[in-house]
Amino acid sequence: MIDESELAVNLLDFRQKSFQFERLVDRANGAYAIFGRTETETESQLRPKLVHLKVVVPQEWIVYDADLDLLRLGREGTPRSLRSPGIALESAAEPSEFPEQGFEWLREQPADHVYVYLPKERRGALGPGIGREVVDGR
């Protein structure tokens, strides 16, 4: 399993975008890493707004891909999962449920201009307020 010092110096590849490590949060079923990214809402608007993206990942799902020099999603001892084909989409255009690197994900919007990506199979273990907790930095 990747430790916190390795998380801090690497980027996570998720939805064809790079996310930077922010912090770890503990839950009864283990540690979760929170990664973040800020981007513009859309380049076609006269005054685009900033959008904050957060990814909540079980720490044991994070593996280092030496070929790409990035963190990826996967399970230790299993073959590398496939990346999503295509190009990165604007966050608002993404579906609320989708597969990514062999896992099913949910996208929530707990606040204006904030999207949080959560692992679907772990949604119950994370609790109902995890999206707001991630936004508030608790």
Model pLDDT, residue 128: 82
Segments forming the whole domain that contains residue 118: 4-136
| Per-residue pLDDT tens over the stretch 118-132 | 999 998 888 888 888
**pTM to 2 decimal places:** 0.86
DSSP 73-114: E--TTSPPPPPPPS-PPPGGGS-SEEEETTEEEEEEEEETTE
Place of tokens 């609790």: 127
| Per-residue pLDDT tens over the stretch 29-75 | 889 999 999 998 776 667 778 899 999 999 999 999 888 888 999 87
The domain total for the chain is 1
> Taking phi first (over 0 means left), then psi (-120 to 50 degrees means alpha), and beta for anything else, what does residue 102 get?
left
| Per-residue pLDDT tens over the stretch 75-131 | 776 666 555 555 566 666 778 999 998 899 999 999 988 999 999 999 888 888 888
Model pLDDT, residue 88: 61
Model pLDDT, residue 40: 86
